[in-house]
Amino acid sequence: MDGKRFLETIQKRRSVRVYKSGKVTEPELGLILEAARWAPSGANTQPWEFVVTRDRAKMKRVREIYDNEWKRHKREDPVHYKGLYLTTRQPGDREKLFQASVANAVEHMMLMAASLGFGTVWVSVREEVEPELRELFHVPEPLRLLWVVPVGHARNWPRAKPRRQVSDFTHQEIYNPKKLRDEAQIRAWPKG
């Protein structure tokens, strides 16, 4: 694969929140997990563990857990997922190193899924939902759940959202504080 084709895969990846029927085959799942295996990790710790489920009752329960959390906190964008879930977890010590490493593995999975024509979305496991997800998937302490990543056939492929220009966040030789966006500018950025 050349750089241009790889960049096209990166640009194709979207946060897909609604899926249609259709399965992720075992060979496709194997490629997605193999991509995670090759993700960079701090000191080669490879601190990730993934729980994969195809159980419709569990997937429905995950949707309910998130729907309830969204309603309690009046958040936007309730979760309405169908399809395969990849649940990420990791130990709590060396937190930043491990979270960055697991994030690399998740991104690798999402890019591989996009290259195979699947949609994914990165869903944070907030402390409000972690106990219920921990119970559902039998994840023991001290392991910590970080993300739920549904993988499946997108019902609709979302349009690309606005992106900053490379020159807006790139500093040549020295840091330019004039380029730094404050919280208000970040919040005002178009969401698409």
Question: Each residue of 1-50: pLDDT tens digit?
Answer: 799 999 999 999 999 989 998 899 999 999 999 999 999 999 999 999 99
Spatial neighbors of 28 by CB under 8 A, at least 6 apart, are 116, 118
| DSSP-derived secondary structure for the chain | --HHHHHHHHHH--B---EES-PPPHHHHHHHHHHHHTS--GGG----EEEEE--HHHHHHHHHHHHHHHHHHT-SS-----SEEEEEEE-STTHHHHHHHHHHHHHHHHHHHHHTT-EE--EE--TTTHHHHHHHHTPPTT-EEEEEEEEEEESS-PPPPP---HHHH--SSS--GGG---HHHHHHS---
Confidence bin at 78 (pLDDT 50/70/90):
very low
Q: Is the pLDDT of residue 77 over 70?
A: no
Q: Are the beta carbons of 115 and 9 closer than 8 angstroms?
A: yes
**Mean pLDDT across 49-59:** 92
**Mean pLDDT across 143-154:** 92
Spatial neighbors of 131 by CB under 8 A, at least 6 apart, are none
Distance CA 8, CA 160 (A): 12
The pTM is what?
A: 0.85
pLDDT at 110: 96
Architecture of the domain made up of 3-158: 3-Layer(aba) Sandwich (3.40)
pLDDT at 74: 62
pLDDT at 80: 44
pLDDT at 8: 93
Q: Is the pLDDT of residue 166 over 90?
A: yes
Distance CA 122, CA 86 (A): 10
pLDDT at 79: 45
Confidence bin at 75 (pLDDT 50/70/90):
low
Q: Is the pLDDT of residue 76 over 90?
A: no
Q: What is the pLDDT of residues 81-130, one digit of tens each?
A: 444 444 444 444 577 888 899 999 999 999 999 999 999 999 999 899 99
pLDDT at 192: 61
